[in-house]
Structure 1
């Protein structure tokens, strides 16, 4: 696949993206940027949520993980589904009732401005690292496909990628994202389905025969109940899925910014339930694709790449399949990447402007617009620098690294919200930042000690331990006076 073909697909995709962004966001004001003026269609929002939840990490890493983990990821997806219901019927009514722009305004209402800023800073760290990791893995693939072949360095790759994201989200924010991400979802699902069909033909099978071969293979095992110390143990992954979804969707400004753009709480709930059902189907497509990739490589005698993240790209580009498969791979990768990066950049801008600068209360409309645009540019610069940093030093499996980062940084956020929702206790907020920093450090120590002393491997459920430690610290900060009913 030539660099010219890849570049043509990327430029055509970006041109359509900019057209949709311009049409949907050309009259957007600050309210349109932050909340979509709360007029988004629930059905279109649900479509936009699918690519936002998947990201480029999912697109590249989940198919490659099938060799080591089979279909065990579906155990976590089942937990995600339960978590979506918690978000829809517990958190959505709360946030709509308070009319929040940023979720962390709830922490201000409950515990004071120090709590709001603590939550916002942890979100800032989480989202910056997560968004940069997602961008990095796709930039690494584009470096191999295009930039290395034309003699351009990784730095140029990173700058160009973030520049496009900054440009198409600069004006419309959430108002544009809802429509551009719905378009990206269609591109992502189409690329998955058509690639699966191409692999089936490449194997010389009918669709039914291919599905039966996948089901009979070693890759298709979903449930793991035999070893409680394993990271793939069902109850660990199921509970971790619930907690991760609540923390990384329900308490994440990026994801909830879309849900809160719907007209009513009822519309937001319909959107979330539909998203949960679609997520099950799309993840199954990813895992089926992964099994077919490994079956195809075994059939044609292709060597396995050094990293599982590279399996999809290796087969799509160098696997002897028709040219359009490689172009579909690029299209799906771009769809997932630009979705997660665009929404992350918008959410970071919103939280920094609202929570940390308090600009919505201190500035008039014109000043708020100037502040928002400056913050938006600053966040884009920060993402670029982090992508370059990961490009220089990144050497871990990206999906595991992403969840490790989330397990440490989302834990204090989850703990603060759970403490606020599940108790009626006030706290001395001056010491809350210390608790929020101590909890991840203690959870890291707990993870190490459990492995060294007892041979128990704490996996994705680390987030829950982190949140519980945060809640314990907040209880110690509690005051005798309680909130009135």
Structure 2
């Protein structure tokens, strides 16, 4: 598929999103609409739209690529997905009732009421750092694909491609905020799901298989192993590590994350929010099975047609992230290529637009006090929110350039590594707030604990093989980080007579 045709497709796609943004934000550009969509969202739209936000372009490209990676990952990622499902259920039954009972706009307001001012600012700062790094890593991958298959042919530099991408996202989110995002994410999730199923159809057709034969081929291939119980000590893929890590990564990255929780808080009742989460969980699990199936089919197709895993331009090493776009755009027909671009663009921008809105909301509410009606309605408050929105767009731009200079590994691995170190302290803070009722914190020392904890966690993880008889950490590292934070909070607390209940 030619770069010019891909570029025209991209322009048309964003034209649709900008038109939707114009319609949905008309006469409703106030801060209440931007932050919580006037608490009038429909649960079924949010449930479906959250799929695109949760999966992202990383899942779309990196997860299929990981199936046949040199480490022999196969379908081991599904162990992590099962842990995710349990985590989502815990969020729906434990955290959502708490957030609704306290009528929160920013979920970090709970920390302020429970633990204190400095704890609150620390939690909000951790989110801003975590989500900025994670969102930049997700957008980096799709920009890399756009650069390689479209903008290189026009001699447009990588930094300009990043700026163009962020400018397009800003253009349809800056006014309507969450109200716009719920509609655009629903549309983009539809495109994402459609793309997955059509990709399976086109690849199986190219392999001269029907759908039933394709899944039988996957089942009998070397890629289909799901559960790994061998070598608990030194293997990162052991079921217990992946499952437990999946539970706690989900609680931290979703339940303690303003981005996805902001959408749940935009509904009228807790019942609707819980229906949203349960529906979302079922779709999420099923769709990941298909993503892994796409990965197996791509490697089977590559082996049959003598296609090598593409090499990274910087390191010269194989880069599995690029196998899917290489096959879709260079070895399939025009329609499958267009379907791939549709899915990739939808997946990535559904994640980034939502994150940009959540970052703006958190900063405006947690640091500028816009949750208070008198502050939100002050003259110039909307203009101030616009400036914050621009500021985070520029920050994402800088972080993506840094990631491009430093990273050459699988992006999905990078994202969960970032989560392990940045979301761990949030896990410790919320655990302390929820389960330790009779101790008061030395609030001013909380930022110190939340900085020291990831450092200790890193030192422990890098030396775990020597300290623990060869044990190698995987995604369960976030639990260790949260535990270190929790113990640090206990050390700076003292027993009080009054119990706090929320």
Deviation of 1:391 after TM superposition, in Å, equals: 2.2
- Per the normalisation by structure 1, the TM-score is 0.98
Equivalent residue number for residue 225 of structure 1: 229
Deviation of 1:452 after TM superposition, in Å, equals: 3.4
SS at 2:495's partner residue? Answer: strand
* Contact persistence 1:360–1:368 (CA under 8 A): no
Equivalent residue number for residue 432 of structure 2: 419
Which structure dedicates a bigger proportion of its chain to helix?
1
Equivalent residue number for residue 477 of structure 2: 462
What residue ranges of structure 2 are gaps of 5+ in the alignment? 311-317
Question: For the residues of structure 1 that align with 2:4 and 2:151, how far apart are their CA atoms?
Answer: 11
Indicate yes or no: 2:102 matched with 1:98.
Answer: yes
Cα deviation 1:336-383 (Å, max 9, x = unaligned): 111111011011101111112223347251332122111111111111
Deviation of 1:318 after TM superposition, in Å, equals: 1.6
CA RMSD of aligned residues (A): 1.2
Question: For the residues of structure 2 that align with 1:364 and 1:63, how far apart are their CA atoms?
Answer: 44
Question: For the residues of structure 2 that align with 1:439 and 1:484, how far apart are their CA atoms?
Answer: 25
Question: What are the residue-to-residue correspondences of 1:208-357 with 2, within 5 Å?
Answer: 208-229=212-233, 230-305=235-310, 306-319=318-331, 321-357=332-368
Equivalent residue number for residue 387 of structure 2: 374
SS at 2:153's partner residue? Answer: coil
Question: For the residues of structure 1 that align with 2:281 and 2:209, how far apart are their CA atoms?
Answer: 31
Cα deviation 1:201-250 (Å, max 9, x = unaligned): 10011111111000111111111112212111101111111101110000
Equivalent residue number for residue 403 of structure 1: 416
* Contact persistence 2:422–2:454 (CA under 8 A): yes
Deviation of 1:79 after TM superposition, in Å, equals: 0.7
Equivalent residue number for residue 405 of structure 2: 392
Distance 1:138 1:484, change over 3 A: closer
* Contact persistence 1:359–1:371 (CA under 8 A): no
Equivalent residue number for residue 499 of structure 2: 483
Deviation of 1:436 after TM superposition, in Å, equals: 0.2
Cα deviation 1:264-308 (Å, max 9, x = unaligned): 100000000000000011111110000000000111111222111
Equivalent residue number for residue 45 of structure 1: 46
Equivalent residue number for residue 315 of structure 2: none
* Contact persistence 2:31–2:376 (CA under 8 A): no
Q: Which runs of 4+ in 1 moved over 4 A?
A: none
Question: For the residues of structure 1 that align with 2:197 and 2:108, how far apart are their CA atoms?
Answer: 39
SS at 1:219's partner residue? Answer: coil
Question: For the residues of structure 2 that align with 1:86 and 1:445, how far apart are their CA atoms?
Answer: 30
Equivalent residue number for residue 360 of structure 1: 371
Cα deviation 1:1-36 (Å, max 9, x = unaligned): 111110111111111111222222223321111111
* Contact persistence 2:105–2:371 (CA under 8 A): no
Indicate yes or no: 2:8 matched with 1:8.
Answer: yes
Indicate yes or no: 2:144 matched with 1:128.
Answer: no
Deviation of 1:331 after TM superposition, in Å, equals: 0.9
SS at 2:440's partner residue? Answer: strand
Residues 277-286 or 11-20, more deviating: 11-20
* Contact persistence 2:118–2:443 (CA under 8 A): yes
* Contact persistence 2:111–2:123 (CA under 8 A): yes
SS at 1:99's partner residue? Answer: coil
Distance 1:484 1:329, change over 3 A: closer
Question: For the residues of structure 1 that align with 2:216 and 2:176, how far apart are their CA atoms?
Answer: 46
- Per the normalisation by structure 2, the TM-score is 0.95
Residues 394-403 or 364-373, more deviating: 364-373
Question: For the residues of structure 1 that align with 2:96 and 2:156, how far apart are their CA atoms?
Answer: 46
SS at 1:218's partner residue? Answer: coil
Question: For the residues of structure 2 that align with 1:4 and 1:395, how far apart are their CA atoms?
Answer: 27
SS at 2:371's partner residue? Answer: helix
Equivalent residue number for residue 473 of structure 1: 488
